[in-house]
Amino acid sequence: MNPAEGHITPLPSWNDTPTRRTIIEFVESVATGPDPVPVAERVAVFDNDGTLWSEKPLVVQLHYVIGQWQAAAKEDPSLAEKQPFKAAVTGDLSWIGGAVEKHYLGDDSDLKTMIASLVGMTDGVDVDAYAASVNEFFRDVRHPVLDVPYSRVVYEPMRELMRYLESHGFTCYIVSGGERDFMRNVTEEYYGVPPERVVGSAFGLTYDEDARKVRYTAGLEFFDDGPMKPVRIWSRIGRRPLLACGNSNGDLPMLQFAVGADQSRRGLALLVHHDDHSGRGDQPYDKGAENALAADDVTVISIAEDWSQVFPAHDPVAAAE
């Protein structure tokens, strides 16, 4: 509490830095300034992996999928001789990590192999069965390094930013390269974002009239990354965001969509920079974010300098129960 102002200090897990002041000044200007933006137009979009929760040493959904690949290789041992099943069975995940890094550098050759194996795991599965499997994963599996539930590796400063924005009339959406229905299972509990406000990559869907169920097909309907992010924002939300936040080159089109081409539009683009070497959060890295870090219309959030803490002190899911 700030006694002088008589209200709760915004963004308490943030240090008093120019970045924090930039965010507060922008939000106050569009919400309560002399020419406020209408509430309906106050849209904020957030990437998920590496922006709202931990993605190192392993993207959360890949942790789930690796378990599926291991089970498939156990049923059919011949799968263990080819990627990505080989990586899952041997525990040598360097091929998987390399595929993701190559994607951020513009080479999707290995990523296509990985996606083909991803969609093969859900072909014919109904959406309720998939949700039950994902919920079981989040109930039972822990972060591979920190040995805590995944609800404990959300970034507390970003949760605070969402709440701060909402208190000023913003509606927050998640726009991620991660698979939409995987994220939908936890976004409301972890971030306060309901499933209808989650935009992500998506498997194809079909309706089974006899069973009266929606099932997945053996294909990816779209991959929500890079230039596809602004397209999906427009098709799903129908509004251009005022604020966008990401952490990689794949988020740069979304960030620049928020600020516009000539910087005359009122918008704020934020980039989470994993530069903290203290061990408080993810492994530090720049690879895959070089272009976004170099953009002159993006405000960089330094985890090392801007955040006083990274993860929540208490499990946000348990606290909500």
| Segment 265-297, tens digit of pLDDT | 799 999 999 999 998 989 899 988 999 999 999
Average pLDDT score, the chain: 92
Q: Is 60 exceeded by the pLDDT of residue 253?
A: yes
Torsion of Cα atoms, 292 then 294 then 297 then 298, to 10°: 50
Q: Which residue has the tokens 């595929």?
A: 99
Q: What is the C-alpha separation between 275 and 133, in angstroms, rounded?
A: 34
Residue 319: pLDDT band (50, 70, 90) is low
Residue 5: pLDDT band (50, 70, 90) is very low
- If you average pLDDT over residues 156-170, what whole number do you get? 98
- If you average pLDDT over residues 195-200, what whole number do you get? 98
So what's the pLDDT on residue 262?
80
Diameter over CA atoms, the chain:
69
Domain residue spans of the chain: 18-56+153-316, 60-140
The 10s digit of each residue's pLDDT in 213-229 is 999 998 889 999 999 99
Buried-exposed string 117-153: b where 16+ CB fall within 10 A, e elsewhere: bbbebbeeebbeebeebbeebbeeeebeeeeebbbbb
- If you average pLDDT over residues 134-154, what whole number do you get? 94
Q: What is the C-alpha separation between 297 and 25, in angstroms, rounded?
A: 16
So what's the pLDDT on residue 1?
41
- If you average pLDDT over residues 75-104, what whole number do you get? 88
So what's the pLDDT on residue 321?
63
Superfamily of domain 18-56+153-316: HAD superfamily/HAD-like (3.40.50.1000)
CA distances from 23 to 161, 205, 206, 275 (A): 9, 39, 42, 20
Residue 8: pLDDT band (50, 70, 90) is low
Q: Is 60 exceeded by the pLDDT of residue 199?
A: yes
